[in-house]
Structure 1
Amino acid sequence: MLQTETVQCPYCWSEIEIVLDPSDESSEFVEDCFVCCRPIHFHKIMNFDGSIELQAIHEDEAYD
Structure 2
Amino acid sequence: MEGTYEHTFMCLHCGAQINMILESYYPEQEYIEDCEVCCNPIQIHYKFEGENLAFFNAQPIGQ
TM-score > 0.5 by shorter chain = yes
Stretches of 4+ aligned residues off by more than 4 angstroms: none
Q: TM-score, normalised by structure 2?
A: 0.77
Distance 1:7 1:54 in 2: 10
**Structure whose residues are more often strand by fraction:** 2
Distance 1:26 1:51 in 2: 12
* AA in 1 matched with 2:20: I
- Alignment gaps of 5+ in structure 1: none
Aligned residues: 59
The residue correspondences of 1:24-63 to structure 2 (distance < 5 A) are: 24-47=26-49, 50-52=51-53, 53-60=55-62
SS, match of residue 27 in structure 1: strand
